[in-house]
Amino acid sequence: MGRCVYGGIHEPGHPEADADGLRLDVVELTRELGVRAVRYPGGNFVSGHRWEDGVGPRAERPRTLDLAWRSIEPNTFGLNEFMAWTRLAGVEPIMAVNLGTRGVQDACDLLEYANFPGGTRCSDLRIAHGVREPHRIRTWCLGNEMDGPWQIGHKTATEYGRLAAETAKAMRRVDPDIELVACGSSNERMETFGSWEAQVLDEAYDVVDHISLHAYFEQHGDDRAGFLASAQVMDSFIDGVVATCDHIAAKRRSTRRLTLAFDEWNVWHESRHAGQDGPRWARAPRLIEEEYTTEDAVVVGNLLMSLLRHSDRVAIGCLAQLVNVIAPIRTEPGSAAWRQTVFHPFALTARHASGEVLRVEPVSPMLHSTTIGDVAAVDVAATRDPETGGTTIFAVNRDERQPAALRLRMAEGGRQVVEHVVLGGRDLRATNTRDAPRRVEPRGSTAHSTEPGGLTARLPPVSWSMIRTAPRSAVTR
């Protein structure tokens, strides 16, 4: 979509590009961001995609129409280029198959091309394309947002559920070790939400491993409090899908426990976007290239906290997208890449939220939101590394006017703060740009104190904070 691939991760001739046209500065930022997995090739794009157009000699690949975003697809970047990029970036691939305009046989052919060692039509085609070893892609998405009327090949829940189940069964014949993701409803505002998941899982529960969730968040009208509490909406969304999964399991008397793939989520000010009919058949047009603010970064940090506290059921969580298109990384042709504001909470969470997620039950004052009702002013999540004993606390103050005093009681005494950083609390409309790429960054804070069995910290208004502690005996003086 847009400039995520062409002009994003792939720009032949760029000073930072390698011989294959992959931008190494973007690769380095992807590593710094802490990305573990990347879903490809989409998104709405996949529902009209012919994977075979993107393999083989580049000079022989056709230029095609991408009906999802009314763009010209040159197909100079395809499956094998993507896999080369994942190896450079150190990420695991998640592959999506086209269940919009195609179906069972096409999905099996793609899986055979990607994962089968050799000696068959599709696997030998991969070898002929210069890739001898199979890619061994583990996770596969069975289409994308198939309940959306905007989707190429839109289907009813029954139609999609049957197709997903039959595709899953056939793909497992090709490779029994894969994990499969069924499409959930496109978002919780869809009239089909809830009933869609139930009907799809009635058909496919026994042959899939995960069901997907998608959600984008923006401010509605003047309700800033509601926007700042987007994580509360994410919490209830996840809880609703978990309840549906467990209802179907109970109904079927199944001992299988499905997990969730929250494989599209982000802040996206969608009301500013022209929609899918806006583009006019350009190659890599500039689509929804959000300039994220400090406030947006606070919300993204809070959304990550929601995913953490649901990590018992959310197995996959993909920020959409990576470069340029509603993305933490931005680029310009022939120029440098830079970190958007939302880059920072993601990178810090990916780096430091290790080990076990702790149950945290904060007691907080309440704020009023006109769109979602009363919301907690302060939200908290925490993780503990059992190997080091280190604890990481993530805290958000949603109050626009007042700082908050965070008081933590800890079962383990004798702890010391090893890092305390804050994002927000000022310049909420500030952005990072090519000319000012470091205007918004986390800043160190000393606004904390420790006492036996506890910790107190100051949370500035509209801020995201990370506080790392360690046992005093583990701290080198």
Point out the catalytic residue in the list 81, 264, 290, 295: 264
Phi, psi of 94 (to 5 degrees): -120, 115
CA atoms within 13 A on the CB side of 365: 11
Element (H, E) at 380: strand 378-384
Would you list the DSSP string of 294-315?
HHHHHHHHHHHHHHHHTTTTEE
Distance CA 385, CA 259 (A): 23
Neighbouring CB atoms inside 10 A of 213's CB total: 27
C-alpha distances (whole Å) from 315 to each of 217, 351, 405, 406 are 21, 17, 33, 30
Q: Is 387 a catalytic residue?
A: no
Distance CA 9, CA 106 (A): 27
Per the CB < 8 A criterion, the answer to whether 69 and 2 are in contact is: yes
Nearest one of 89, 97, 75, 83 to 135, comparing CA atoms? 83
DSSP lists the bridge partners of residue 142 as 97, 182
Element (H, E) at 449: strand 448-451
Peptide bond into 43 cis (omega under 30): yes
Q: Which residues are within 8 A (CB) of 156 and not within 5 positions of it... i.e. 6 or more apart?
A: none
Per the CB < 8 A criterion, the answer to whether 182 and 211 are in contact is: yes
| Helix%, strand%, coil% for the chain, nearest 5 | 30, 25, 45
The tokens describing 264, both together, are: 């599209």
Q: Is 60 a catalytic residue?
A: no
Neighbouring CB atoms inside 10 A of 17's CB total: 17
Q: How open is the CA angle 194-1-322, to the nearest 5 degrees?
A: 80
Q: Is the dihedral of CA 473, 474, 476, 477 positive or negative?
A: negative
Phi, psi of 112 (to 5 degrees): -60, -45
Point out the catalytic residue in the list 145, 197, 203, 290: 145
The tokens describing 307, both together, are: 């995913």
Catalytic residues: 145, 264
